[in-house]
Copies of this chain bind each other. A is one copy, B any other.
Amino acid sequence: MSALVIDRIGSLVTNDPDVGEGPLGLIADASVVIEDGVVVAVGRAGAIADERIDADGGCVLPGFVDSHTHLVFAGDRAAEFSARMAGVPYDGGGIVVTTEATRAATTDTLDRLTLQRVIEARRHGTTTLEIKSGYGLDVANEVRALDVAGRHTTETTFLGAHLVPGEYTGRADDYIDLVCGEMLAATAGRARWIDAFCETGAFDADQCRAVLDAGRAAGLGLRLHGNQLGHGPGVQLAVECGCASVDHCTYLSDADISALAASDTVATFLPAADFSTRQPYPDARRAIDAGVAVAIASNCNPGSSYTTSIPFCIALAVRDMKMTIDEAVQAATLGGARALRRTDVGHLSPGSAGHAIVLDAPSHHHLAYRPGVQLVRHVVA
């Protein structure tokens, strides 16, 4: 047994209203005791420990739970980004460029690149992250991507239905048959989740429903990309199928919001994608006020959102999505955990995972108040 105490915490975000104040469960002048990776005590008590982190009056909060990333890829698309910023619109089509680079990369290269990104995310405070496949788009390369992802997280997602690969151009239904049949079978045991990109230019509602149905039959949890580039059927489909999360939600109709509010499906916003594609931002205020459970994630990928920084996403959510700072911080911790149907992470309470961030700042407000500044001093995971 090894024990770690984080003490002299100026402000502790527990996300547990039973142990602290308000929805964030805030405790001032706190300490946290972690034994063998599990929180055993939260509060004001001192403790004897093998290791000690002095928070020096800083804020401590649960590690960020980034429930939406595409970290397994090779190459980058800086030129496409530059062109877009100069006025070329984003249609998602650049995924094929990354697919070519990813297929061409050795497994060692993919492992190294993915590890670099996981480390970078960790430096910015992310302690739990989901990783999708989706740049392989053939059986062998989707299997390989999930193997790479599985070396870094248990939250692996099979996203064969990311885009129709070049060799299936004009034959999207045939590709969906492959995804639901041979490809899904080949990935058995490698993914916890299945996902699909429900968008004009990617897959329609029937195609996505087929993918989700096949995934459910294979024992996978369900997630969906939807309503990124326009009003579409994604949100309704996700609710109908009982997805844990529907991601993007940049465009939400009143009916979408009502459906989400009455469901167990989390609306996961990806504001860094809206930033990097110069899309409008989702109206999170409206969704939250209607009772929708929300999360914030990075969507880290080389095309539409090449950031691993959840603090950056929090700052955007506050500035441009009209979330309060408390809501944004909770959406990036407890919200992400809900989107992954995890109860062990996203909060700091006795029994929870000992995943904590120590900030160079007195309060979680500084995550939005000090945009772009690397405030994460220590990460415990």
Q: Among A40-48, A149-157, A303-311, which stretch is in contact with chain B?
A: A303-311
Contacts of A362 in B (CB 8 A): 76, 78
Q: Is the CB of A365 within 8 A of B324?
A: no
Q: Is the CB of B311 within 8 A of A276?
A: no
Contact with B along A269-292 (1 / 0, CB 8 A): 000100110100000000000000
A280 to chain B, nearest CB (A): 13
Q: Is the CB of B78 within 8 A of A307?
A: no
Q: Can you sample 24 A-B contacts with CB below 8 Å?
A: A76-B362, A76-B366, A78-B363, A81-B365, A81-B369, A85-B318, A85-B319, A85-B324, A85-B325, A120-B373, A123-B374, A275-B371, A276-B319, A276-B369, A306-B366, A306-B370, A307-B371, A307-B372, A308-B373, A309-B372, A309-B373, A311-B372, A312-B373, A315-B372
Contacts of A248 in B (CB 8 A): none
Instruction: Give the complex CA separation of A76 and B361 in angstroms.
Output: 11
Contacts of A371 in B (CB 8 A): 272, 275-276, 307, 309, 312, 372
- Whether, in the assembled complex, A2 has its beta carbon less than 8 Å from a beta carbon of chain B, the answer is no
Question: Looking across the interface, which residue of chain B has its beta carbon closest to that of A366?
Answer: B78
- Whether, in the assembled complex, A124 has its beta carbon less than 8 Å from a beta carbon of chain B, the answer is yes
Q: How many copies does the complex hold?
A: 2
Contacts of A313 in B (CB 8 A): 372
Among B78, B85, B275, B307, contact of A373 (Cβ-Cβ < 8 Å): B307
10 extra interchain contacts, Cβ-Cβ under 8 A, other than A81-B365, A85-B322, A276-B371?
A78-B365, A81-B368, A81-B369, A82-B365, A85-B318, A275-B371, A276-B319, A276-B369, A307-B371, A312-B371
Contact with B along A75-108 (1 / 0, CB 8 A): 0101101100110000000000000000000000
Q: Is the CB of A272 within 8 A of B363?
A: no
Contacts of A363 in B (CB 8 A): 78
| Complex A-B, nearest 5 residue pairs according to Cβ-Cβ distance, in ascending order | A312-B372, A309-B372, A78-B365, A374-B374, A81-B369
Contact with B along A149-178 (1 / 0, CB 8 A): 000000000000000000000000000000
Q: Is the CB of A307 within 8 A of B370?
A: yes
A296 to chain B, nearest CB (A): 13
